[in-house]
Structure 1
Amino acid sequence: MDTDVLVVGAGPAGLMTANELQVAGVSVVLADKLPRRSELSRAGGVQSRTLEAFDQRGLLEPLLASGDFPIGSGHFAGVPLELANIRPREWRYLPQVDLEAFFEDHLAAQGIHARRDHELVDLAQDVESVTATFANGTTIRSRYLVAADGAHSKVRHLLGAEFPGRLGTATVIAADVSLGGIERELSHTWSEDGTWIALFPLGTDAAGQPITRLVLGGPGRSVPRDVPITEDEIREGLRIVFDDRVELLELRYSRRITNAARQAAQYRHGRVFLAGDAAHVHLPLGAQGMNTGIGDAFNLGWKLGAAVHGWAPADLLDSYHAERHPVGAGVLRNVQAQSLYMDWQGTRDPDVLAGQAIFRELAQLPAVQRHLADLMSGMVIRYPIPGDGLVGLPAPDLPVGSSRLHAMLRPGRAILLDPDDQYAKLGDLWSATVSRVTAGRPMLVRPDGYVCWAGSPDELEPALTRWFGEPR
């Protein structure tokens, strides 16, 4: 083998996968077809659950220290959501390009450098390996391969993997701009003719100039994706929505995005796994695509590590699809609902407007705000793990002795909290893969921070066997 795992694609999902594999102590090669890191910021926000995941690897504080990433309120279909009560962090406006730069530097410090100019052209797998061939003549043989190569995934194409769903039927403009005049932290504004603009702050550039993500849509604005975007096109939209109150100072980056909504039927294909946009595509509302892709990586990385090291239960790798496919389906569902309530295409259809008005009224109710905030923060994700209470949910950052639970997850090992020292015998049997701590509250937490046991003592041994194999 040239490496244990080959990761194709050096976007957020691929970078996070490489990091998780490095934490798990297996060798990884990261390959990308681009000659250099993209300067295009396709997403601009990081959810609470993603921030927790970064914290659980000791990356959150250095990441936030690397730039100006303001706290945001989040939104659902343009309705602002109060996320202050979501534990333990708030939503952050954090451009994808800055996130990728941080992770590339972090991985480089661990000796993992993205291999650029590696365009995949062929793929083959057998019972023990995957062989990838690149246009530059390089061939890499690995035990497993993770496809994180985006919405137009070459790996998915070579596999012939089913990718059902809806093709894009309309486009809007997404642009990073400098504006003069009125700028609000979160602004979804509609004009009488259905033209709408959403504004989100992305921090400041090196010169201290504020950068804003602008999304512009409405009737007559849906054109093919390859039609060039002009400054005049954006200025016209600003004039229609804001009159002369907002001025375009600089257009830094722009692209047209579609309302395609598709999801791979299977995330696992033998020794090949789909992650991020290679597994699911949808409108980039709330940066859910990037965050969901990072969640895919966080779920998959430790499981591949277990398989490489030889202690993974027989169906552990299958649990990746079982746990993450429903998450992706839920994101597609909420994005499609948001596009309807936002009147994304600017139809001004009376039925759509009536539904929009009712939704906005309901969205002001505290219980609805909490539910939508949980949904958009990523904290509502519950994996299908048998058990009650916290089981299947992200572990809270409980104080554990003089430390915190999230900090204890940084080595990438599972944690058994045993405050009364009653599970010492079981803990010793699984000590090779599970760290036992005599503090906190009784709980078994997987390396990805999800609770997999917190109930009856009789259920602990089956949980240990289910997730960490036979005693070693």
Structure 2
Amino acid sequence: MDTDVLVVGAGPTGMTLANELLTAGVSTLLVDRMARRSGLSKAGGVQSRTLEALDQRGLLEPLLATGDHPVAAGHFAGIPLPLDSDGHRLPWRSVPQVVIEGFFERHLAEHGLHARRDHELTGLAQDEDGVTAAFADGSALRARHLVAADGAHSTVRSLLRAAFPGQPGTLTIIAADVRLGGTDPAASHTWNEDGHWAALFPLGTDAQGRPLRRLVLGGPGRSLPRETPVTEDEIRDGLTTVFGTGVRLLELRYARRITNASRQVERYRHGRVFLAGDAAHVHLPLGAQGMNTGMQDAFNLGWKLGAAVHGWAPEHLLDTYHAERHPAGAAVLRNVRAQSLLMDWAGTRDPDVLATREVFTAMAQLPDVRRHLADLMSGTAVRYPMPGTGAHPLVGRPAPDLDLGTARVHELLRSGRGVLLDPADAFAKLAAPWTGRVDRTDRVAPGAGTGPMLIRPDGYVCWAGGDGLEAALGHWFGEPS
């Protein structure tokens, strides 16, 4: 074997997974077909759940120290979700994808992992012991496991001939990185009476400190074949149509056409090969859900691959990646399709769509509805199917980041091992055989508001109170040593 795990694709999903594997003490190779990292951002926001996961690895503060990354309000179908609707300790942040990739690239390099670039995958074969990957330059790499994080047009997915069902794209819209002048639009989403619309999101600043924006344009007559180049005149016409002459294009840095295709692979696991990120699911880029969902795929899979490599993973553990992440990805596709309908991407101004949006907008003002939509868009509404989900409301959900007096819960997860909160010091003997895989603490401050709880390395509660701790330890952390 050249490595334990070969990760194909050095975007946010691949780099997050590489870091998880390093945390798990697993030898990792990261390859990418591009000769250098892209300077463009397909996404610009980091959700609450992703921020929590980064905090669990001690990466959040260093990431936020890379620049000005303000707290950002979310939206659902262009309907603003006020900041007070996000009751999480870590609300959304505006962090462009290019910043995240640069941060991870430096962090991985500090730990001795450099992406092997200009490595175009051309062949793939697997057997009982491992996977062999062939590349265009004639080289080959052998690994125990391979993870495809190589994007929407995944070569790995094609080589596997993996079924990728869903809805084909029926229209295109324009996404562009721009500098604008003139009047700054007050709303992030704006429509005119003819059905033309525009959405604007912050992308940080350029080297001169000038603000950059992500501009998305759509409406009647704007759906052109995907390969048609986007021109500056087209951008200027779109701005004028929606905003009038008060908003001017100063610089067009990058533009592309994206479709409303919505697809998801039938299986996330193919033997020793796993699909993650856009290689597993594609949809319209709404709420940075593509990037965040891919990073959550990586957080879920990393520790499980580590357990398999180290030899203590229960037989079923790797299968739980598909069982947990496929429903999570499907839920994202559903909410994106609902949003695209309510946003009237095609600019039809269909009276039924407008009436539905008006009713939904009114409902979205209700506090309970706002909180539900905020949880949906923040990635915190996910509840993984696992034993015990009916016995306790926390099981299957992200662990609450309680202040235990000596540390926060998230800080206890930085080792990459599981955590057993044992406030009454009642489970020391029972948990002792799993000491090498699970850290136990009884140092819980009075009034911390927590009972006993078992937390997986990815931060999800897999047991809470009552009977069944020994069974849960065996189910998630293997046979006692």
Deviation track 1:69-112 (CA, whole Å, cap 9, x = no partner) reads 22110100000112444311111111111110110110000000
Aligned pair 1:447/2:457, yes or no? yes
Shift of residue 136 of structure 1? 1.0
Match of 2:45 in 1: 45
Could you list the per-position Cα deviations for residues 143-197 of structure 1 after superposition, in whole angstroms to 9, with x for gaps in the alignment? 0000000011110111111000011111101111111123357511001110000
SS where residue 453 of structure 1 aligns?
strand
User: What residue number does 1:236 align with?
Assistant: 237
| Equivalent position of 1:396 in the other structure | 400
| Structure 2 equivalent of residue 463 of structure 1 | 472
Superposition map of 1:68-467 within 5 A: 68-84=68-84, 85-184=86-185, 186-385=187-386, 386-387=388-389, 388-440=392-444, 441=450, 442-456=452-466, 458-467=467-476
| Pairwise CA RMSD | 1.0
Which 5+ residue runs of structure 2 have no aligned equivalent? 445-449
- What is the Cα deviation at residue 38 of structure 1? 1.1
Rounded Cα–Cα distance in structure 1 between residues aligned with 2:168 and 2:58: 39
Q: Is the 8 A contact 2:406 2:443 kept in 1?
A: no
**Cα 1:8/1:51, change in 2 over 3 Å:** same
Q: Is the contact made by 2:431 and 2:470 (CA closer than 8 Å) also made in structure 1?
A: no
- Give the aligned length: 471
Instruction: Give aligned-pair identity as a percent.
Output: 69
- Following superposition, the deviation at residue 253 of structure 1 comes to 1.3
TM-score (ref. length: structure 2): 0.96
Using a 3 Å threshold, how does the CA distance of structure 1 residues 126 and 81 change in structure 2: closer, same or farther? same
Kept in 2: contact 1:229–1:254 (CA 8 A):
yes
CA distance in 2 between counterparts of 1:189 and 1:211 reads: 18
Contact 1:24–1:412 under 8 Å retained in 2: yes
How far does residue 15 in structure 1 lie from its aligned partner after superposition?
0.5
**Alpha-carbon contact 1:48-1:86 (below 8 Å) kept:** no
Q: Alignment partner of 1:293: what SS?
A: helix
TM-score by length of 1: 0.98
Give yes or no for contact 1:185–1:200 (8 Å, CA) kept in 2.
Answer: no
AA in 2 matched with 1:6:
L
Distance 1:217 1:249 in 2: 20
Shift of 1:425: 0.6
For residues 404 and 398 of structure 1, the distance between their equivalents in structure 2, rounded to whole angstroms, comes to 6
Distance 2:40 2:168 in 1: 23
Q: Could you tell me how far apart the structure 2 residues matched to 1:172 and 1:95 are? A: 20
Alpha-carbon displacement from aligned partner over 1:18-42 (angstroms, at most 9, x marks no partner): 0000000000000000000012211
Is contact 1:201-1:211 (8 Å) kept? yes
Q: Within 1, Cα distance between the matches of 2:263 and 2:187?
A: 28
Deviation readout 1:292-334 (Å, 9 max, x if unpaired): 0000000000000000000000000000000000000000000
The answer to whether the 8 A contact 2:71-2:94 is kept is yes
| Compared CA separation, residues 307 and 131, structure 1 to 2 (3 A) | same
Q: Is the 8 A contact 2:281 2:329 kept in 1?
A: yes
Q: 1:185 to 1:424 in 2, by over 3 A?
A: farther
